[in-house]
Structure 1
Amino acid sequence: MASSDDTYSSYETYFRTRKYAQRYPRPNRLAFARVLRMVAPGAVLTDIGAGDGRYAIPLAEKGYTVIAVERSDAARAQIADTALRLGLKGKVHCFKELEDVDAELAAESELSLLFFGVLGHMTFKEREAALKTIQAMSSGQANVIGSVPNTFRRYRSERVNAKIEDFGSAPRFIYTHELDGATHGFAYTAYSPKQLREEFTLHGWECVEIKTESVLSERKVTRNPVIGVTDALVSRLTPSRFSHAIFFHIRSPA
Structure 2
Amino acid sequence: MVKKINLKYALHTLNVISMVLAVVVMGLCLWLRYEWDFKHYVYELEAQKVLWTGPYILMASSALAMATVVIGIRATIVEHSQLLLLFVIGSVVSAILGLAGLAYTLNHGIYKSDLTPWLEERFFVLFHEMDYNERSARIIRIIQEDIECCGPSDWTDYQAFNKILPDECRNPSTGNIAGGGCAEEFARWMEPKTGWLSGIALLLVVIQLIGISIGLWLRKVILQDIRKDNNKSYHLVTRNGRENQV
After TM superposition, the score normalised by the length of structure 1 is 0.21
Structure number with bigger Rg? 2
**Structure ranking higher on relative contact order (CA contacts 8 Å, 6+ apart):** 2
Between Structure 1 and Structure 2, the one with more helix by share is: 2
After TM superposition, the score normalised by the length of structure 2 is 0.21
Between Structure 1 and Structure 2, the one with more strand by share is: 1
